[in-house]
Amino acid sequence: MPTARSRPGATSGAIGTFLATAALASGHALAQSCVTMQDLGTLGGTYSEARSISADGSVVAGYAFNAASQHRAYRWTAAGGMQNLGTFGGPHSDAAAVSADGTVVVGTAHDATGSIRAFRWTAADGMQNLGTLGGTYSGARSVSADGGVVVGSSYNTLGQFRAFRWTQTGGMQDLGALGLVGSDAISVSPDGSVIVGLAYNGDVTVLRAFRWTAATGMQDLGTLGGTDTRAFAISADGNVIIGWSYNAANQRRAVRWTSAGGIQDLGTRTNQGSYSTAVSADGSVVVGDAPQANGDDRAVRWTAEGVLQDLGTLGGFGSLANGVSADGSVVVGVADLVARQQRAFRWTAAYGMQDLGTLGGSTSYAQAVSRDGRVVSGFSRFSNAPNITHAFRAVVTDPIRAVTGPLAATTCPWGTPSFTVAAEGSGPLTFQWQWRQVGASDAWTNITQGPNTDSSGVTRFTASGALAQTVTLARFGSSQGSLESIHSLRCIISNSCNSVTSSAAALTVCIADFNCDQTIDFFDYDAFVVCYEGGICPQDATADVNHDANVDRFDYDDFVAAFETPC
């Protein structure tokens, strides 16, 4: 059974693309998304791990072994690859988090004496030692969106573990404790103003979740009636905190704190407890795990409406959720296959739980997800050799699965009808409109931007937006230009995963609506007669109704026939 809280611990990147089948629970049909899993390599050793990802998914941070089997903090980008962030003179360093904009990495690094120090890295300044609160240790755990605020913990001069908040101007600030002993800052809000973590409440055997602001100081978030609580993550506005608490029956329960409502038990699937790991940006969705009656963990998703949703497995016994997209619609984590191999997954309501595959080995783990839910980072066995594991970055493109439109349209001969489609699926989307000529049963022709010709080579109409979501047509400005040659239109919508062709929409050209006011009446007849007899026609109109380059009795007869049989 996988566990998100106890994980196993090449130098050139490789990219593989495959169709990953979504194993859907609750009777959903199988669907497929396209996954490109990229090997981020190592720093010369056999192991690397992705710990954190920027908001747009373009930057990954973690640690990797070098050729001497020393683990080093790294920052990965597509342009620069895996960059060794160095140390303070010692053997090891480890990146814990990257800022939302990807410019700042924080973590821990050894100095030449073997002491561990919190660091903040930027391209301009390199690795910056954040110091301590007077003791021998400090470590950074989280960073604000712009990288300006760093939080973590440090020993003070008394050897007590204390949560800290660091800024460039204020340095390292001791956030205090709930009693006289220790505290640890785990996460910080995007603007750096709210910090959550855990602290002893005066009894060195009891740890409590806390929320800190400059105005309130460190606040105990309370319990569900038990002893210990933990806080792990915080919403974008700092008002929602998630973690767990023991209840009066000594059961561990996933909880959600709000300023207005206090502590809320999120419930569980059985009486065996639950655990939360991540929260959506607005605080409305919480993810984590809750065991079944037999003890196997299941990834779950809670909503503010009180819904607890079992996300299933990949055919095996257990699953755990480790991250969630900003809007709460995408969940990532690890789940068992039938053979009990553990695989990174990505879950959505549309496609269920999807196996993201591996880098060639048998197991993989998803640890973080981009804000939009499309980029997942983690680590995977590089081969079935037990000591080779590489960090990965997987880009998931959801297939186009539903197309709306276009709708049938009716226009006058001189009108400019428009057709629009909409599609569900990952962008960017491309569009190619097609038209079918009257009398051509199944022959579809791509519409081009500008003039378009029929099968005989005659230019009939012009198009604007032939490769866009909305296409607009107009009669070509010659005697043979005619929208009446168009039977129907459709659109092919594509992304990097698949292509879907919309249904066809008929175009009806109403010849009798000669003045283009969308009403058939004697004003149309009068307008035609004036145009036919005197050459004074509405804008863009012509009395050559049959498009034979002559205005004659046949045009008159065709118009009258159309007028007497309205569209």
Q: What string of H, E and C letters represents the secondary structure of 458-514?
A: CEEEEEECCCCCEEEEEECCCCCCCHHHEEEEEEEEECCCCEEECCCEEEEECCCCC
pLDDT of 166 over the 80 cut: yes
Q: Is the Cβ–Cβ distance between 400 and 497 less than 8 Å?
A: yes
- What mean pLDDT comes out for the span 26-48? 79
The CA distance from 240 to 222, in Å, is 14
User: In this structure, are residues 57 and 393 in contact, taking their beta carbons and an 8 Å threshold?
Assistant: yes
**Amino acid occupying residue 531:** C
The DSSP H or E segment spanning 555 is helix 553-564
Length of the chain equals 567
Instruction: Say what the pLDDT of residue 15 is.
Output: 39
Task: Look at residue 17 in the predicted model and tell me its pLDDT.
Answer: 36
DSSP conformational letter for 6: S
Average pLDDT, integer, range 16-30: 35
* Cβ neighbours around 567 below 10 Å, total: 14
Question: Is the pLDDT higher at 16 or at 128?
Answer: 128
* pLDDT band (50, 70, 90) for residue 479: low
Please check the confidence at residue 14 and state whether its pLDDT lies above 60. Answer: no
Angle between helices 553-564 and 522-534 (to 10 degrees): 180
In sequence order, the 6+-apart residues with CB closer than 8 A to the CB of 30 are: 21, 22, 23, 24
Q: Which residue has the higher pLDDT, 175 or 515?
A: 175
Whole-number average pLDDT of the chain: 90
- The CA R_g of the chain, rounded to the nearest whole Å, is 32
> Tell me, what's the pLDDT at 75?
98
Distance CA 335, CA 329 (A): 18
Phi, psi of 505 (to 5 degrees): -120, 125
Give residue-wise pLDDT tens across range 186-213: 999 999 999 999 999 877 778 999 999 9
Angstrom distance (rounded) from CA 350 to CA 365: 22
Quick one: pLDDT at residue 4? 35
Specify the pTM. Answer: 0.83
Asked if residues 497 and 425 have their Cβ atoms less than 8 Å apart, the reply is yes
In angstroms, the Cα distances linking 238 to 184, 235, 408 are 18, 5, 49
Mean pLDDT of 530-537: 88
Number of Cβ atoms within 10 Å of the Cβ of 521: 13
Structure confidence by residue, pLDDT tens digits, 388-434: 999 999 999 999 988 999 999 999 888 899 999 999 988 899 999 99
CA distance 508 to 413: 9
Model confidence at 563, pLDDT cuts 50, 70, 90, reads confident
Residue 402: Cβ within 10 Å count: 10
Beta-sheet strand order (sheet of 285-291): 275-279, 285-291, 297-303, 308-310
pLDDT at residue 480, as a whole number: 66
**Residue 172 and residue 154 in contact, taking contact as beta carbons nearer than 8 Å:** yes
Token output for 496: 């990097």
Q: What is the mean pLDDT of residues 56-80?
A: 97
d(CA 518, CA 216) in angstroms, rounded, equals: 66
DSSP string over 181-242: S-EEEEEE-TTS--EEEEEE-SSTT-EEEEEEETTTEEEE---BEEEEEEEEEE-TTS-EEE
C-alpha closest to that of 152 among 203, 216, 201, 109:
109
Is a pLDDT exceeding 90 seen at residue 514?
no
* Average pLDDT score over residue span 270-279: 88
pLDDT tens string 81-103? 999 999 999 999 999 999 999 99
**Looking at per-residue confidence, does 546 or 288 come out higher?**
288
Q: Could you tell me where the beta strands, DSSP code E, fall in 85-160?
A: 89-98, 105-111, 116-122, 126-129, 134-143, 149-156
| 522 has a pLDDT exceeding 80 | yes
What's residue 378's pLDDT? Answer: 98
* pLDDT for residue 288 is more than 50: yes
Strands 161-167 and 149-156: antiparallel
The whole-number average pLDDT for the span 339-361 is 93
What is the C-alpha separation between 187 and 234, in angstroms, rounded? 7
Q: How many CB atoms lie within 10 A of CB 566?
A: 12
Two structure tokens written together for 549: 């380059």
pLDDT at res. 28: 35
pLDDT for the residue numbered 2: 36
Q: Which residues pair with 37 in a beta bridge?
A: 16, 394
Q: Specify the 3-state DSSP secondary structure of 532.
A: helix
Q: Give the span between the Cα atoms of 218 and 282, in whole angstroms.
A: 23
Mean pLDDT within 526-547: 85
